[in-house]
A and B are shown apart, each in its own frame.
Chain A
Amino acid sequence: MADNKQLERTPPPADPPRDWGAALQPSSTGAALPHKASAGAGEGFMGSSLYEKGKTVHNKRIDGPFRRFKWLVMVVTLAIYYVTPWLRWDRGPYAPDQAVLVDLAHRRFYMFDIEIWPHEFYFVAGLLIMAGIGLFLVTSAVGRAWCGYACPQTVWTDLFQHIDRFFDGDRNARIRLDKAPWTASKIARRAAKWSVYLLVSLLTGGAWILYFADAPTLAHDVFTLDAAPVAYATVAVLTGTTFWLGGFMREQVCVYMCPWPRIQTAMLDEKSLIVTYKDWRGEPRGSVKKAAKAPDQFGDCIDCNMCVAVCPTGIDIREGQQIGCITCALCIDACDRVMKEVGRPRGLIDYATLEQCEAEAAGAPPQPAWKALLRLRTLLYFGVWASIGAALLFALGTRSHTEITVSPDRNPPFMLLKDGSVRNAYTLRLRNMEARPRKMEVALAGLPKGAVMWTEAVSFEDAAPRLVVDVPANETKVVRAYVMLPRGEEAESFTFRLAALDAEGERDAAETTFAMPEDD
């Protein structure tokens, strides 16, 4: 509270809000565009400023419901990222015990009870489609909520800004330190801060590789310098990019590098929730003193610049929607506090749809934000998203862990033997997706009597119409099988039937052809 009072007495240092130039559309709230300082950039070619020197955003600390929500999201997402590789999951002696593991070497993806094989990549494709539609859904309902809360760039930027605050103090102190000459104490502070940046980056890059190998073993190997070079290279690249993108580039990534803000301009509509400055209520701006002197002359905005000071991307929300706004809602927290201080109703800056804004400007009462969620477009997105999810779950629940595929030899297609019998050769692939070795029975079905089969392991002397094969855990066993029809018998097609010889007794079958000489 004391903080707020002080704020009103001492206006923040002049740090004009940035205009990202490429504002998506003319200010849709119709706010009068403020006095804009011409870009204070270094001189470029022909005296014109074609390039702009980067400016650090020193956002002020703020507390409020949205800030607390951001803390929560940050803790949850970082915890998921750092803890997940260390979770164990017992799969028996033939499979890794790491709960989430992308085993590229063996081409398996483990996620708790789910194990995905390469031939089931459609599950991953389905998840990616769900992620895409999920972004549509979220954007349609609550605008750029992904950008504001859950995007890794946002989470890590937030983390690094807290580090800034820890070492250099809040906004004003950081601005002063930035402008201060490079004294020994500033160098020491910067070195300390950047070391922590580097530590965080190293932990970020280090955690990533743990998803691709047994985490305890790999962590140990990394420290004893026994890990594979690609592990160190990955850590180095991710450490470097985290240090650079999180420590220094920050909002520049959102504005200049990320395609998502541009895609979202096509997906937001007048019914999407966005963070909006209600200009019809706020304008014209005037300080509390001015307003006291001339009531009725000024709107609710006291032009305290708090919304600009707390913004992690350094924009002025009062200019309307713009590409730099990640809708983190910290300006709502800031403005609500100020409004409470000066005894005016909250929500001068608030989550609202453009449609609501127009209605409110015309005199309608404010609507609760959740009402904006229930509309056809959002519900349709949700329906599509949920049905894909349900379909994936159904496919996952009903998939078989036993499979046989057959490819007949094509050259030669058949073999006439001495006694006139005909032999065909097949390559069978017996897939055992269980994490235990299983005996499986392969049987011929649909061939005349006398047909027998043998393999390299089962010699011709033991040929029979059904054979038992040991299939190792988590593997596809390739078996070359010979099938022989005695002289005088004929066949065109038949079926290899596979049955697992265990309690579940899963079955599968594959039809194939039997080639014969044309005349005998």
Chain B
Amino acid sequence: MSNKRIDQPTGTETVGHEWDGIEELNTPLPRWWLYTFYATIAWALVYVVLYPAWPMIDRASAGTLGWSSRGDLAREMSAADAARQGVFEKIAATDIEKLPASPELMNQAIAGGAAAFKVNCVQCHGAGAAGSPGYPNLNDDDWIWGGTLSEIQYTITHGVRWDGEDATRVNFMPAFATMFEPAQVDALAAHVMSLSGKAKDNAAGAQLFAENCAACHGPTGAGTPALGAPALNDAIWLFGGTEADVKKQILKPRHGVMPAWQGRLDPVTIKMLAAYVHSRGGGQDPAPVQTATAPEGKVAQAPEADSDG
């Protein structure tokens, strides 16, 4: 069968086979190469015993070490939870208005709140917390129910007009559809628009406003956060800022609802959510700072601005 010979040009023995005149030189592989191959086989056998490897009908063989990727994940998750536990306890023990005094704790609360926000709040308030008509924007400086940390915390805890929650924030703008003549509605809406400089003053509208609206919205339309009465003299409109939108809201107001999160989320998560919402750019300090005047004061400084950089 074999016909070995020494190949003259190379001096190497052939393996003895020949195909159409083609022969193969026998260049022996080093033995260690073979042993390396055996070692990989031994390694594979050991691996199959130690680790999940062999496919069965509904699962793989478990392996004597009991390792699993799910187990790894569970261990890492509980390790992460344990690592967070200390922070949670600190946040729980800190009064929410004292949080900003500890920037590190505040940042951790904001980060935790950002995560919780993505799960629980984005459905209405949007991923960027910018809201949409009927759903308040949480980034701006306009707060219907107040924008300090504790006020935000209260709103999240108890919700707005939430059935079955005794402490929920509640108010109702009456429907004026049956009370005003169309001309009166026009005058009143024009007056409301004029509060933010979008229309001219009109005496009839001002009269109607003073009689019907000022009790809640204030004589200048600055709003009353304690009552949840929105400011009407600013650029921000929950249900739209055109005259038609305003009329609609006078005649047949809509009333948004926000769930009370107490009972669904633990107090620490609610605290962190409040910190996150507060950090979005419009959060207010608890001090008796007039929320409406702060930005205006800033704009008054504008001439100092050096736009040339």
B309 near A445: Cβ-Cβ < 8 Å: yes
**Quick one: closest B residue to A450, CB to CB?**
B302
* CB pair B31 A46 closer than 8 Å: no
Q: Contact mask B126-153 → A, CB, 8 Å, 1/0? A: 1111100000010111100000000000
Q: Is A114 an interface residue (CB 8 A)?
A: no
Interface residues of B in 295-309 (CB under 8 A from A): 295-299, 301-309
- Determine which of B28, B282, B306 lies in contact with A49 in the assembled complex, contact meaning CB atoms within 8 Å: B28
B30 interface residue per 8 A CB criterion: yes
**Size of the chain B interface, CB-CB below 8 angstroms:** 54
Nearest-Cβ distance from residue A203 to partner chain B, whole angstroms? 25
* B231 touches A (CB below 8 Å): yes
A44 and B303 CA atoms in complex are apart in Å by 95
Known contacts A418-B235, A445-B307, A446-B309, A48 near B4 by CB under 8 Å: yes
Per-residue B-contact encoding for A14-34, CB less than 8 Å = 1, 0 else:
000001011100100000011
The answer to whether B2 has its CB under 8 Å from any CB of chain A is yes
Q: Is the CB of B292 within 8 A of A36?
A: no
Query: A271 interface residue, CB < 8 Å from B?
Result: no
Q: Which listed segment binds A: B6-14, B158-166, B203-211, B247-255?
A: B6-14
For the complex, give the distance between the alpha carbons of A419 and B196 in Å. 8
Inter-chain contact B28/A52, CB cutoff 8 Å = yes
Would B231 and A418 count as touching, CB distance under 8 A?
A: yes
Query: If A50-B28, A418-B295, A425-B281 touch, does A256 touch B302 (CB 8 Å cutoff)?
Result: no
Q: Once bound together, how far apart are the Cα atoms of A456 and B103, in whole Å?
A: 10
Q: Complex Cα distance A9/B296, Å?
A: 108
B31 and A38 within 8 A (CB): no
Q: Do residues A452 and B26 form an inter-chain contact, with CB atoms below 8 A?
A: no
Residues of A within 8 A of B26 (CB): 39, 48-50
Whether the Cβ atoms of B302 and A452 lie closer than 8 Å is: yes
B30, A252: Cβ atoms under 8 Å?
Answer: yes
Give residues 434-462 of A contacting B (CB, 8 Å): 443-452, 456, 460-461
Contact A419 B234 (CB under 8 A): yes
A384 to B231, CA, bound (A): 71
Residues A450 and B13 in contact, CB atoms below 8 Å apart: no
Residue B69 interfacial (CB < 8 Å): no
Report Cα–Cα, A38/B6, bound state, in Å.
Answer: 9
Contacts of A46 in B (CB 8 A): 2
Contact pick for B16, options A36, A48, A460, CB 8 Å = A48
Give, as a whole number of angstroms, the nearest-CB distance from A381 to chain B.
Answer: 33
**Cβ–Cβ < 8 Å partners of A337 in chain B:** none
Residues of B within 8 A of A221 (CB): none
Judging by beta carbons under 8 Å apart, are A418 and B12 in contact? no
With CB as the reference atom, state the residue of chain B lying closest to A249: B32
Q: How far is the CA of A419 from the CA of B126 in the complex (A)?
A: 23
Q: Out of A51, A249, A416, A520, which one reaches B29, CB within 8 Å?
A: A51
Q: Is A469 an interface residue (CB 8 A)?
A: no
- Decide yes or no whether B33 CB sits under 8 A from chain A: yes
Number of interchain pairs (Cβ within 8 Å): 163
A22, A415, A448: the one contacting B307 at CB < 8 Å is A448
Contact present for B140 and A452 (CB under 8 Å): no
Contacts A33-B11, A461-B294, A465-B307 hold; do A415 and B234 have CB atoms under 8 A apart? no
Cβ–Cβ < 8 Å partners of B281 in chain A: 415, 423, 425, 482
Contact A449 to B307, CB < 8 A, known contacts A33-B9, A418-B292, A420-B235: yes
The answer to the question of A417 belonging to the interface, with a C-beta cut-off of 8 Å to chain B, is yes
- Interface presence of B227 (CB below 8 A): no
Q: Is A217 interfacial (CB-CB < 8 Å)?
A: no
B12 to chain A: which residues have CB within 8 Å? 19, 21, 36, 39
CB of A54 closer than 8 Å to a CB of B: yes
| A residues near B32, Cβ cutoff 8 Å | 54, 249, 252
- Do A450 and B126 touch (CB < 8 A)? no
A222 at the interface (CB under 8 A from B): no
Interface mask (B115-128 → A, CB under 8 Å = 1, otherwise 0): 00000000000111
Given A26-B9, A51-B29, A415-B140; A444-B307 close (CB under 8 Å):
yes
A419-B128 contact in complex given A33-B11, A449-B303, C-beta closer than 8 Å = no
Does B48 make an interface contact (CB < 8 A)?
Answer: no
Name the residue of chain A whose CB is nearest to the CB of B279: A456
18 other contacts beyond A410-B128, A416-B235, A420-B235, with CB at 8 A cut-off? A22-B27, A23-B10, A48-B4, A50-B29, A51-B30, A411-B128, A412-B137, A425-B281, A444-B305, A444-B309, A449-B302, A449-B305, A450-B305, A451-B302, A452-B305, A464-B305, A465-B307, A487-B235
Q: Which B residues are closer than 8 A to A by beta carbons? A: 2, 4, 6, 9-13, 15-16, 25-34, 126-130, 137, 139-142, 196, 231, 234-236, 279, 281-282, 292, 294-299, 301-309
Q: Nearest 7 pairs between A and B by C-beta?
A: A445-B309, A450-B302, A411-B128, A21-B27, A418-B234, A412-B130, A36-B11
Cross-chain pairs A/B with CB under 8 angstroms, 26 sampled:
A19-B10, A39-B28, A42-B31, A50-B29, A256-B30, A411-B126, A411-B128, A412-B126, A415-B140, A415-B281, A418-B141, A418-B292, A423-B281, A444-B309, A445-B308, A449-B305, A450-B302, A451-B305, A452-B298, A452-B301, A452-B302, A452-B305, A460-B294, A465-B306, A486-B302, A520-B235
